Structure 1
Amino acid sequence: MFKRISAAVLAAAAVALLATPPAQADAPARYVAMGSSFAAGPGIPPQQTGTPAACGRSTKNYASLVAGSRGLALTDVTCSGATTANILTAGQAGQPPQIEAVTRDTRLVTITIGGNDVGYVGSLFTYGCQNTGGANCGQVDRNAVRTALTTVHEKIGAVIAEVHRRAPRARVLVVDYLTIVPGERPACDGVPLTPEQLAFEREVADRLATAPRRAARAERATLVPAAAASADHDACAAAPWMERYSTAQGRVPYHPNEAGMTAVAELITARLR
């Protein structure tokens, strides 16, 4: 009798083990991508379905490429036009602040932010409009841009700090902005900037690249130096990672192309190894 009961118990236990779902540790690690258009990938087809069209999230943006290659469970809340406020406090395109996607079980976060806080691409659009005979182009307030550049590292730092608070075990990668204008060569056809405007935009780009580096160092994050890696792949380069102001229909001027997103994904993957 005792032996029969023991055998039954053992058999039941074996069935229970076979029915037990895989351990939680086997589930894909949760990855949250936050940031502005240089993370979202507007104009790069195909765009993600079921997401706000205004955000312009591509299925080939760097977060999607990283998640696919590493087997990660991606939550992509990137959105074109986002500022640090849109990550921390202000909703955008009918979506809540991006930070709400970060939870305690998040294991990886990537951030590309700060360019819209200082009006970087906006200033390039304004000059492009002015120099190609556009209407209602507006003006570039250089003093305002330079003032914003003095504090943007603190705003990026506040984003990193809040990620750490919400997800203490997450690895945080701060990805700076891909290079748009040539660093030493003159501007080319399709990049309508005067030499004086080009010098100003180089200043903005250099100072904007410094901000995430300072923030990452101060707040215990890892910098992914996309700006330095793309120095020879600006919009005027032979192998550009960036669209020109004059670009094909459907593409977004002065924004990353497929090659740029692939390059950033490779930089991130290298850091993860």
Structure 2
Amino acid sequence: MRLIALGSSFAAGPGIEPQVDLDAGRSSNNYPNYFARRLNLDPTDPTQFLDLTVSGATLLNLISEPQQAGSTTFPPQLDSLPPLEPGNDGSDLIITVTGGGNDMFYIGSMFAYTLKHTLWGRLVSYFLMSKEERKAFEHPTMATAEQVSERFTILLDRIEEKYPQATVYLVEYFAMMGPDTKAGRDVVWDQEQIQRYSDTADLLQELYAKAAQGRKNVHVVPLAEETKQKHALGSKDPWVSDGSIWEFYTHGAYHPSQKGMLGASDILFDFHSKRCTDKRFQ
């Protein structure tokens, strides 16, 4: 068995120690690493586990566009997929994917709102951010739902072309907003803004379901609903970090915590185990 992880920061784990690639914002305690350990794979052996996730990646960065992050230019993640050996159809391969939110400026808009509507955020923006960075936050490039759907189609088509029988798990985004998230207490925005972010999260969930539709080897891992009800901001057991100045400083603001990554890997492993059991009894 071999595991390959593709995606952006909600898979990579910025702000979670240890960081094995600072430019990628990639932690060895992200959910793909935890999942690899649950599968009894060696996370340090690239022939068993390959983590290609990069914080800030869009689906285009997975498919065809290089990504500049820090001092590193990362090639499109699909370009780093290893070839199959002759006669191997990829049936022993698992690929996890978490992405699409950056295409829609989902978490980025939370950053921008916090920096604009807090005193410390305005100071950070003015003194520590470049003109180009401020411009990117103020005038982001945002894909439509239709464009994100098209990108998912291209991504999955390319994966299936390279690995015809590989199992692909589309691991949904952790929910940031939930029924216990309160305006002014857990976030700096109002209740109307909370609803906007909840609507975006729901849309991403729909796009994941649509992407998997009709593909027998592609499965959606239901992380969004469980985290929305039990582990969002304001809950008794949050799996995500808030937008405090400390979390911004450690690059973990509005992202999964280490506890969240471990919880997500448990959900993924249980989903995978049940699938394998059901498949054996079919």
Q: Aligned pair 1:79/2:54, yes or no?
A: yes
Partner amino acid, structure 2, of 1:271: F
Q: Paired residue for 2:148, among 152, 157, 161?
A: 152
Q: Aligned pair 1:199/2:199, yes or no?
A: no
Could you say which residue in structure 1 is the equivalent of 2:222? 225
Q: TM-score, normalised by structure 2?
A: 0.78
Q: Offset at 1:270? A: 1.4
Q: Aligned pair 1:70/2:39, yes or no?
A: yes
Could you say which residue in structure 2 is the equivalent of 1:56? 25
CA contact (8 A) 2:180 2:235 kept: no
Partner amino acid, structure 1, of 2:167: R
SS in structure 2 at match of 1:94: strand
Could you say which residue in structure 2 is the equivalent of 1:20? none
SS in structure 2 at match of 1:168: coil
Number of aligned residue pairs: 240
Partner amino acid, structure 2, of 1:227: A
Q: Paired residue for 2:95, among 109, 134, 137?
A: 109
The within-5 A match list for 1:1-273 is 29-48=1-20, 51=21, 53-72=22-41, 73-92=48-67, 93-102=72-81, 103-104=83-84, 106=90, 107-133=93-119, 134-135=121-122, 136=125, 148-183=144-179, 185-220=181-216, 221-231=218-228, 232-246=230-244, 247-248=246-247, 249-273=249-273
Could you say which residue in structure 2 is the equivalent of 1:7? none
Percent identity among equivalent residues? 30
CA contact (8 A) 1:32 1:77 kept: yes
Unmatched tracts of structure 1, length 5 or more = 1-28
Taking the aligned partners of 1:78 and 1:261, their CA distance within structure 2 comes to 14
SS in structure 1 at match of 2:73: coil
Change (3 A) 1:230 1:188: farther
CA contact (8 A) 2:11 2:31 kept: yes
Across the aligned residues of Structure 1 and Structure 2, the Cα RMSD in angstroms comes to: 2.1
Unmatched tracts of structure 2, length 5 or more = 42-47, 126-133, 274-282
SS in structure 2 at match of 1:223: strand
Give the greater-gyration-radius structure (CA). 1
Taking the aligned partners of 1:46 and 1:111, their CA distance within structure 2 comes to 21
Q: TM-score, normalised by structure 1?
A: 0.81
Partner amino acid, structure 2, of 1:261: M
Q: Offset at 1:79? A: 0.2
